Amino acid sequence: MAVKTVQDLIAEGVEGRHVLVRSDLNVPLSDGHITDPGRIDASLPTLRALLEAGARVIVSAHLGRPKGEVKPEFSLAPVAEALSERLDQFVPLAGDVTGEDAHERANGLNDGDILLLENVRFDARETSKHAAEREAFAAELADLTGDNGAFVSDGFGVVHRKQASVYDVAQKLPHYAGGLVETELEVLEKVSGSPEQPYVVVLGGSKVSDKLGVIEALAPKVDQLIIGGGMCFTFLAAQGYEVGGSLLQEDQVDNCKQLMEKYGDAIVLPVDVEVGESFDKNTDHRTVNLDSIPAGWMGLDIGPKSVEKFSEILGRAKTIFWNGPMGVFEFEAFSHGTRGVAQAIIDATSAGAFSVVGGGDSAAAVRTLGLEEDGFSHISTGGGASLEFLEGKSLPGVAVLES
């Protein structure tokens, strides 16, 4: 990656300088409490390195989708509290994004101090499709750093978005890649370049349409492509199975047929499924073969025979990329498929395979199910960004750093 890094910035000298860091702190909340702090923890190394070097750090980030309006439930206040605990120093939260309070607090920073701006998506210009609006907002963000500022892009989960705090602001300030972005790109290059064979990809999640691009990009490169989650039922329908009330994208059935005809045995589907009478954690459920899904019942997880089949394939792999849960892992009755596949990947990793969890719901599942994070070679912080990178798409937030 031909870009300057945060270590280059530190070597140039950051004492007395304001450094704007775009982090990805978009963590899940329940009743105002953070349920998965993974992205916060991933942001810490870059922040610590800058603070220890004497920078005056200003952090920008988003939370949820407030759609350009100030909504208290999307405030970064819980994140500021979590950062304060982890950094062992007070992290104040500005009362606005680029307004009077943000400027006063930024001007008052001393060397080694840190400030968190309020949710950048409280300003509609952050995600505007009009370049001039984004650029105006980016200029306001850059102004917070004064005359000798710098920008560090460390929010890998947003680098696939052409947004003001990710893309446009990099054109306003000397720009650098943070340690997290560096690591993510190096890891994904390893699995997309010349991965050690056998190379196995596991895809789950709900919609085939979300994964078509990555299936097309990866199928020619992999030894086997395992498909589970809600998206598997569109593939099963393409094979002629009745899928009951399971999630089905009828407009994608022909695409699935074509993929299976093109790649044959490389695409691996479940052989049994766990079905429920309704989408509820306490619903009646049972394990059935593919030809025995009851009318109206919905497939909510892969079955134990499928876990066994997938585990055998993963046990032979030398490189593994996993994106998307195998079922509704949030419900105990339908968590066994995701847990079983994740454990198989952990076992393969301990035997020498290189494994990457492609962020998003997969990373959340690892933590929710209490699995050992160190059991995987790498857990990405960016689901969408990871997939777009593997599809071969240019990531705007990375491309702008190369200029």
Residues comprising the binding site for ATP? 211, 299, 330, 359-362
Res 192 pLDDT > 90: no
Contact 397, 166 (CB under 8 A): yes
CATH of domain 6-182: 3.40.50.1260
Residues comprising the binding site? 24-26, 39, 62-65, 121, 161, 211, 299, 330, 359-362
Per-residue CA distances from 380 to 92, 182, 258, 321, 377 (Å): 28, 12, 30, 10, 10
Q: Give the pair of three-digit tokens for residue 165.
A: 């705090």
Q: How many CB atoms lie within 10 A of CB 273?
A: 33
Q: How confident is the model at residue 1 (pLDDT cuts 50, 70, 90)?
A: low
Res 36 pLDDT > 90: no
CATH fold for domain 193-390: Rossmann fold (3.40.50)
Residue-wise over 104-116: b if at least 16 C-beta within 10 A, else e? Answer: ebbeebeeebbbb
pLDDT in tens, 262-320: 998 899 999 999 999 999 999 999 999 999 999 999 999 999 999 999 999 999 999 99
Coil vs helix vs strand at 57: strand
Q: What is the pLDDT of residue 230?
A: 95
Coil vs helix vs strand at 317: coil
Could you give the residue numbers annotated as active site?
A: 39, 207, 360, 384
Beta bridge partners of 153: 22, 177
| CA–CA separation, 81 and 382 (whole Å) | 23
Res 123 pLDDT > 70: yes
Specify the DSSP class assigned to residue 88: T
Residues comprising the binding site for (2R)-3-phosphoglycerate? 39, 121, 161
Contact 154, 179 (CB under 8 A): yes
Query: What does residue 322 show for φ and ψ, rounded to 5 degrees?
Result: -125, 125
> Do 6-182 and 193-390 show the same overall fold?
yes
Q: Rounded to an integer, what is the distance from CA 210 to the centroid of its chain?
A: 14
Delimit the domains of the chain by residue range.
Answer: 6-182, 193-390
Coil vs helix vs strand at 356: strand
Query: What does residue 311 show for φ and ψ, rounded to 5 degrees?
Result: -65, -35
| CA–CA separation, 93 and 348 (whole Å) | 43
Per-residue CA distances from 297 to 6, 7, 274, 276, 338 (Å): 52, 55, 10, 6, 20
Judged by average pLDDT, the poorest of 41-50, 185-194, 231-240, 338-347 is 185-194
| CA–CA separation, 367 and 241 (whole Å) | 34
Contact 18, 75 (CB under 8 A): no
Res 96 pLDDT > 80: yes
Beta bridge partners of 57: 19, 114
Helix (H) or strand (E) holding 289: strand 285-289
Q: What is the pLDDT of residue 157?
A: 93
Residues comprising the binding site for substrate? 24-26, 39, 62-65, 121, 161
pLDDT in tens, 317-374: 999 999 999 999 999 999 999 999 999 999 999 999 999 999 778 988 998 899 999 9
pLDDT in tens, 205-231: 888 998 888 999 999 999 999 999 999
> Peptide bond preceding 304: is omega within 30 degrees of 0, i.e. cis?
no
Q: How many CB atoms lie within 10 A of CB 141?
A: 27
Rg, C-alpha atoms of the chain: 22
Q: What is the pLDDT of residue 98?
A: 98
| CA–CA separation, 29 and 32 (whole Å) | 6
Contact 299, 241 (CB under 8 A): no
